[in-house]
Amino acid sequence: MPKEADIRPSQILMSLSKYPELQIRSSQEEPIAFGLVALIADFVTDDEGGAMEKIEEALRSSDLIGEFEVLGASRISAKVGK
């Protein structure tokens, strides 16, 4: 969720590009109410210890994000089919 109602999801996406640990696979906008629009983003990161904490810390440090929620996490194996 943006910190203020006048912050657009595209502004949030652009601001997150300064964090190399936040590779965004996909994103979509979700209207909430009264002009407030949430950003739903799917991040990809290395499967190393503390990866989720790094993503959460980057999101917390953004001046544009008021709050966020992790909707899910999964692990994709690079060895599929081998």
**pLDDT one-digit tens code per residue, 23-45:** 888 999 999 888 788 899 888 87
Q: How far apart, in whole angstroms, are the C-alpha atoms of residue 79 and residue 77?
A: 5
Q: How far apart, in whole angstroms, are the C-alpha atoms of residue 62 and residue 82?
A: 40
pLDDT of residue 52: 82
pLDDT of residue 29: 92
SS (H, E, C) 16-53: HCCCCCCEEEEEEEEEEECCEEEEEEEEECCCCCCHHH
Ramachandran bin of 20, using left for φ above 0, alpha for ψ from -120 to 50, beta for the remaining angles: alpha
The HSE-up count of residue 32 (CA atoms within 13 Å, CB side) is: 11
pLDDT of residue 20: 78
Residue 9 predicted with pLDDT over 60: yes
pTM, entire model: 0.73
Greater pLDDT, 47 or 44: 44
